[in-house]
Amino acid sequence: MDNLGLEALSRLIRAWLIRMTTAAGSGHLSSSLSAVELMVGLMFGGVFRADLRRPGYPNNDRLIFSKGHAAPLLYALYAAAGRVSPKELLTLRKFGSRLEGHPMPRFPNAEVPTGSLGQGLSVALGEALAARMDKLICRVYCLLGDSEMAEGSVWEAIQLAGFLRVNNLVAVLDLNGLGQSGPTMLQHDARAMARRVEGFGWKTMIVDGHDLKKIVTIFQQAAKSKDSPIIIIGQTIKGQGVSLISGQPGWHGRALTQEEADQAARDVGPVNEKLRGSVMKPEARQPLAAKRKSARELKYRLGDMVAPRLALGRGLVRLAPAFPSLVVLDGEVKNSTYTELFEKRFARRFVEGYIAEQNIVGMSLGLAKRGKLPVMATFGAFYTRALDQLRMASYSRQHLMFIGTHVGVHIGQDGPSQMGLQDMALFRTLENSMILYPSDAVAAERLLEKSLRGQGMVYLRATRNPLPVIYKPTTRFTIGGSQVLRRSKDDRATVVAAGVTLHEALKAADILAKRKIRVRVIDLYSIKPIDTATLKQAARESKHLMVVEDHYPEGGIAEAVRSALGKQAGVVMSLAVRKTPRSGKPEELLKYEGINAAAIVTAVVKITR
């Protein structure tokens, strides 16, 4: 499409933006108007290549709206490409419409959920890395707003992309100078912004963000670059094209009244309602097919002392041949999570993300969107830094896996800053999530394999210190299941535990048996989903339920058990971490928090008198 055609298409899109936000009575009109020419020049200027009828086609270029509040523009672009009808545009923000206030997967051309600012570039980096792994020639474009450039996660992505020289990644910055409540930090100082990004190894290009001829030229130049990631900084005006709001603060999330919309339409001028743009088709390329091979069998013996975190590291190596799409991401703790074992064997499928957990979660989502099976590993405590990224990723419905090591007070001398004590609560709140908490090496590897074959978001909670192997390699584990390790017809109480506290529960059960007090012990390795049937049976048959966990009580296993049992729960006694932890030996800390075998014995004796 020539320059005149692009200008006409831009006017039509502006008219649509005014109509759809006015009909909705809300929406981010001004932020959409500022980026019209940048996005029209990209999609319809002969650079962007994608089969829009097949959003998942591997060699498609990708476009991610990190500034997700500009969703009206995203929908209007696809209307201009013939993929959305003008009539559907008027359903913006209405209940049941796929054109939601911020992009969600119900709209098939939205790559991922966006709208919580600062996350899109990390996802784009993950997608670009996946395309590079698959030797595809597509590019990933990410529209950024200048307000979100204050977010640290943006700079985490910029830093790593520059370090890795990810040359198929193009960021497009809409530098309109206004945020939601006032001016942005740098306003229209494009050179200052460019210097900051250049410091991380990016190539920068500055352009008048409303000059379509220059915009198309600069995208063509960017497409030829092969040395580094590129950021195109468009100097734009918020509300461009509508005199009432152009460059004016206070219009960030406001829609026009009908009278104001009529005046805005006159500002835009006459439009050709039948005009549509065309998007170039991609070159026909598919990822290189990798052969799937059988995984080796487990070789653990009962009584072996193995840390579950080590078992998961070994398991990733053992299972890698059976899962050729598996990619492991590390938060610069690979010698603690044992993902270094995977890196040594499968370096091309390993990504060192350094200490930037928010960016790594975002990259994981991007890799998953491109057909990879990402497994991220770091300390369980550090996922709290990335809660917002995890929250948004849960809406994506992708298969994502997260390993959290160094959980609970059992880690010992490192002290509370390193202890994962809120991690289960965090993941329990996330939609489409699962939590698995293995208690020995066999369970760790078996649950890892189940997770790799599964779907959704999975969190594997891994104890740091060695624990005895209590399961035979042939033991079966299921997501949503449990193991009953002690049971008799005379059980007077049931102790529910997982991880290190399961071993404490088994010790307590043996001590209590010598006192003629029988207790049932359940390994509740699947926290979400939970084995409600087994728990209900235990509640019926043993009268007393006690949960012992190396986690804070809020959001932990006891609360999950109570929620699952409902009215049948009765009184579920909880032994959990309630004191501020401190440094010490693992056994000292278990005793201090009252979650060791001795504490379990005392509590059971008390409730069974």
Confidence of residue 323 (pLDDT cuts 50, 70, 90): very high
Alpha-carbon dihedral sign for residues 19, 42, 107, 175: negative
Please determine, for residue 289, whether its predicted confidence score (pLDDT) is greater than 90.
no
- Kindly state the tokens that stand for 176: 């309109």
Give the pLDDT of residue 294.
86
pLDDT per residue as tens digits for the range 22-81: 999 999 999 999 999 999 999 999 999 999 999 999 999 999 999 999 999 999 999 999
pLDDT grade for 291, boundaries at 50, 70 and 90: confident
pLDDT value for 102: 97
Residue indicated by tokens 């006694």: 573
In this structure, the number of other CB atoms found within 10 A of the CB of residue 189 comes to: 14
> Looking at residues 8-15, what average pLDDT do you find?
98
Q: In what order do the strands lie in the sheet with 373-379?
A: 350-352, 326-330, 373-379, 400-405, 457-462, 433-436, 526-528
- Residue 567, pLDDT score: 81
Pairing of β 350-352 and β 400-405: unpaired
| Tens-digit pLDDT profile for residues 76-134 | 999 999 999 999 999 999 999 999 999 999 999 999 999 999 999 999 999 999 999 99
Write the DSSP symbol of residue 420. Answer: B
For range 363-380, the mean pLDDT: 98
Structural contact between residues 382 and 98, judged by C-beta atoms closer than 8 angstroms: no
Quote the CA–CA distance of 392 and 104 in Å, as a whole number.
10
Mean pLDDT of 357-362: 98
Is residue 280 within 8 Å of residue 139, measured between CB atoms?
no
Q: Which pLDDT score, from 0 to 100, does residue 295 have?
A: 86
**What's at 234, amino acid-wise?**
G
Rounded to whole angstroms, how far apart are CA atoms 379 and 375? 13
* pLDDT (0 to 100) of residue 64: 98
Cβ atoms of 172 and 142 closer than 8 Å: yes
Distance (Å, rounded) from C-alpha 361 to C-alpha 457?
A: 11
Q: What is the pLDDT of residue 230?
A: 98
Mean pLDDT in residue range 353-382: 98
Residues marked as catalytic: 357
Domains and CATH numbers, the chain: 33-70+99-251 (3.40.50.970), 305-468 (3.40.50.970), 483-607 (3.40.50.920)
User: d(Cα 528, Cα 569) in Å, to the nearest integer?
Assistant: 17
Asked whether the predicted pLDDT for residue 594 surpasses 90, the reply is yes
Give me the pLDDT at residue 185, please: 93
Mean model confidence pLDDT for the chain: 96
Dump pLDDT digits (tens) for 140-153: 999 999 999 999 99
CB 105 within 8 A of CB 98: no
Q: Which two tokens stand for residue 122?
A: 């990390």
- The predicted model gives 225-230 an average pLDDT of 92
Question: Is the four-CA dihedral 102, 279, 140, 146 of positive or negative sign?
Answer: negative
∠ CA(561), CA(567), CA(568), 5° rounding? 70
Share of the chain above pLDDT 70, in %: 100
Query: What does the CA dihedral 17, 18, 22, 28 come to, rounded to 10 degrees?
Result: 60
Strand partners, 206: 233
Instruction: Return the closest-CA partner of residue 427 out of 564, 556, 533.
Output: 556
**CA separation for the pair 150, 144 (Å, rounded):** 11
Contact 92, 27 (CB under 8 A): yes
- Residues 495-553 have pLDDT tens digits of 999 999 999 999 999 999 999 999 999 999 999 999 999 999 999 999 899 999 999 99
**pLDDT the model gives residue 345:** 97
Print burial letters for 364-400: b (CB count within 10 Å at least 16), e (below 16): bbbbbbbebbbbbbbbbbbbebbbbbbbbbbbbbbbb
**Burial, 274: exposed, middle or buried (Cβ in 10 Å; 0-12, 13-18, 19+)?**
exposed
pLDDT of residue 272: 97
Say if residues 285 and 58 touch (Cβ distance below 8 Å): yes
pLDDT score at 568: 77
- What confidence score (pLDDT) does residue 609 get? 84
Q: What are phi and psi of 232, to 5 degrees?
A: -100, 115
Cα–chain center distance at 537 = 36
pTM for the whole thing?
Answer: 0.96
